[in-house]
Amino acid sequence: MKEYTFDPSIDCARALDKADELAAFRNEFYIKAERIYLDGNSLGLLSKRAEQSLLDVLDTWKEYGIDGWTEGPNPWFYLSEQLGEKMAPLVGAKPEEVIVTGSTSVNLHQVVSTFYQPNGKKTKILADELNFPSDIYVMQSQLQAKGYDPDEHLVRVKSRDGRFIEEEDIIAAMTDEIALIVLPSVLYRSGQILDMKRLTKEAHDRNILIGFDCCHSVGAIPHSFDEWGVDFAVWCNYKYVNAGPGGVGAIYVNQKHFQKVPGLTGWFSSSKEKQFDMEHVLTPAITAGAFQIGTPHLLSMAPLIGSLEIFAEAGIDRLRSKSLHLTSFMLFLIEHELEGMGFTVGNSHLDERRGGHVFLEHAEAARICKALKENGVIPDFRAPNGIRLAPMALYNTYEEVWHAVQILAKIMKEEQYKKFENKRGVVA
């Protein structure tokens, strides 16, 4: 574990901000002065460049109409591939191995339908019991589509403590009945980073394909998909990558699988050169572009153009370094200010095991989140008792982290949370 030197004063926070080499990027975002936004792991804030790139696509539509597909500053027909090329450095991939398309669930349906090919006794999919529910829904659906009972053929590795999944337990579950493994890169509650390199090697040693849902890691931590040999991955871009609500997701496919026909094909699966030949026999693209299905959602994709410019300038390694420093400072302050108030830290203190957010557990978590919002701090509640706090390297400050913890301590000391019902909202 890396040792950091902090003290609990606001002067320490201000000194850290003064030394922050990424501080100028905060000016790229729309920040409300009266609010401390710590929910970027659910929805990142709007940047001015993302706003401008959306307006630019609207201008292209206004100026060119149908010709916007091939003319203008970012021709729409090639935009998914171009954005995939720009995203590739965030995940350690070749430009042609990443395509910006679809949503996480649609993309997961795509890769599971492609790579889950039961054969003989290899009929099961391996997942984990702490995974985000929608991923489980997708795998259950894909099993049913191929005639298998999800209760028997979806194996979910158990957690020993309800927070973390041990790699040893995942490896032990890689039996000769497993046809495919789908795991999160970062657990959405505890923020635990799974050792993707180790798990990929162990899976391949057993002749099992493996892929990852990276929604809670892309834009927050570096990845090396090609070096690790990962078969596939999917992720959204509206969290750490700040592409906006409903922002278009992405798929990574290792180039060794480029000859594989996708399980779900459609209009944009085609080779660009053949697409408008209008043949009834598909000629798939020989890149990750083959894993597209329908027409790109241009207005939901456009903000990513500006957002990825910022990531290219900031650099994922520098962003990861600051993120770790921010969350370490927050954990230090939590230990100093919230002792005896009923909180349990539910994430790892080890840098190599911690994603981009801090996870606190408390019996009154839903009420506390409502009180935080009333006090201008925007957290994220996760049932039944979780509070996620995500200081973002691009736009949050150390002083904001300091104030957020002080506000939380004040809420607890004054029992402000008691005026709220301990029940989540419709959207939590």
Ligand-binding site membership of 267 (annotated): yes
Ligand-binding site membership of 95 (annotated): no
Residues 157-203: tens digit of each pLDDT: 999 999 999 999 999 999 999 999 999 999 999 999 999 999 999 99
Residue carrying structure tokens 């021709």: 75
* pTM of this structure: 0.96
Alpha-carbon gap, residue 178 to 187, rounded angstroms: 22
Ligand-binding site membership of 4 (annotated): no
Exposure class string for 324-352: b at 16+ Cβ within 10 A, else e? bbbbbbbbbbbeebbeeeebebbbbeebe
Ligand-binding site membership of 235 (annotated): no
Ligand-binding site membership of 317 (annotated): no
Instruction: Indicate whether 60 pLDDT > 90.
Output: yes
Alpha-carbon gap, residue 257 to 382, rounded angstroms: 36
Residues 113-162: tens digit of each pLDDT: 999 999 999 999 999 999 999 999 999 999 999 999 999 999 999 999 99
The full set of domains in the chain, from first to last, is: 10-30+316-419 (3.90.1150.10), 51-313 (3.40.640.10)
Alpha-carbon gap, residue 157 to 33, rounded angstroms: 44
Q: Tokens in use for 400?
A: 């904001």
Residues 196-229: tens digit of each pLDDT: 999 999 999 999 999 999 999 999 999 999 999 9
pLDDT band at 428 (very low <50, low <70, confident <90, very high): confident
Residues 343-387: tens digit of each pLDDT: 999 999 999 999 999 999 999 999 999 999 999 999 999 999 999
Show Cβ contacts of residue 104 under 8 Å, excluding neighbours closer than 6 positions.
134, 213, 215, 234, 235, 236, 249
Ligand-binding site membership of 287 (annotated): no
Ligand-binding site membership of 348 (annotated): no
Alpha-carbon gap, residue 237 to 304, rounded angstroms: 8
Show Cβ contacts of residue 257 under 8 Å, excluding neighbours closer than 6 positions.
115, 231, 232
Would the CA dihedral through 137, 143, 144, 145 be positive or negative?
positive
Instruction: Count CB-CB contacts under 10 A for residue 157.
Output: 21
Radius of gyration of the chain (CA): 22
Closest CA relative to residue 103, chosen from 292, 309, 302: 292
∠ Cα 149 128 392 (to 5°) = 135
Ligand-binding site membership of 297 (annotated): no
Q: Tokens in use for 71?
A: 């003319």
Ligand-binding site membership of 135 (annotated): yes
Residue carrying structure tokens 């939380």: 408
Instruction: Indicate whether 1 pLDDT > 60.
Output: no
